[in-house]
């Protein structure tokens, strides 16, 4: 299982390292380091759970199990990230960092792409174009 999720873990570590090392550059761009780190952690956890659900469902002979797992993973990520965003906005009020939110949404897209790519790589015969 570890080899299957290695790119996801690697991306998580790279983003965290860049966020920690580039704190002055991030602040110069109008972003907050803590917001980016928390968003990265949440998105990593949501993507990991979603990917593991999809990998487990792919072993089921019923094709509906995969569809349910994909939908549940996307719903978890979307609702979890939305809830975190609402909590963040309610906590900071007018001191919000819009650029941090945009960067976190960009991370959301990248994590979703990595999750889909890793899942599709599991069966190369069915997905010859990947």
Count Cβ atoms within 10 A of the Cβ of residue 39 and give its class: 0-12 exposed, 13-18 middle, 19 or more buried: buried
For residue range 75-87, list pLDDT tens digits in order. Answer: 998 899 899 999 9
Cα–Cα distance, 91 to 16 (Å, whole number): 23
Q: At what angle do helices 6-21 and 33-58 cross, to 10 degrees?
A: 180
Q: What is the pLDDT of residues 39-76, one digit of tens each?
A: 999 999 999 999 999 888 888 888 888 889 989 988 99
Give yes or no for residue 123 having a pLDDT over 90: no
Structural domain spans, the chain: 6-120
Question: In this predicted structure, what is the pLDDT of residue 126?
Answer: 56
pLDDT band at 119 (very low <50, low <70, confident <90, very high): confident
Q: What is the mean pLDDT of residues 21-26?
A: 90
Angle at 119 between CA 117 and CA 122, to 5 degrees: 110
For the entire predicted model, the pTM comes to 0.86
């Amino acid at each position: 299982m570890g080899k299957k999720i290695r790119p996801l873990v690697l991306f998580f570590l790279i983003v965290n390292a860049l966020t920690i090392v580039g704190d002055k550059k991030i602040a110069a761009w109008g972003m907050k380091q803590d917001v980016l780190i928390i968003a990265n952690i949440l998105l990593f956890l949501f993507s990991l759970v979603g990917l593991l659900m999809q990998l487990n469902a792919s072993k089921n002979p019923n094709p509906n199990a995969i569809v349910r797992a994909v939908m549940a993973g996307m719903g978890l990520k979307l609702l979890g990230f939305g809830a975190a965003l609402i909590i963040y906005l309610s906590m900071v009020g007018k001191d919000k960092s819009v650029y941090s939110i945009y960067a976190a949404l960009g991370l959301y897209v990248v994590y979703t792409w990595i999750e889909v790519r890793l899942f599709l790589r599991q069966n190369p015969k069915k997905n010859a174009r990947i």
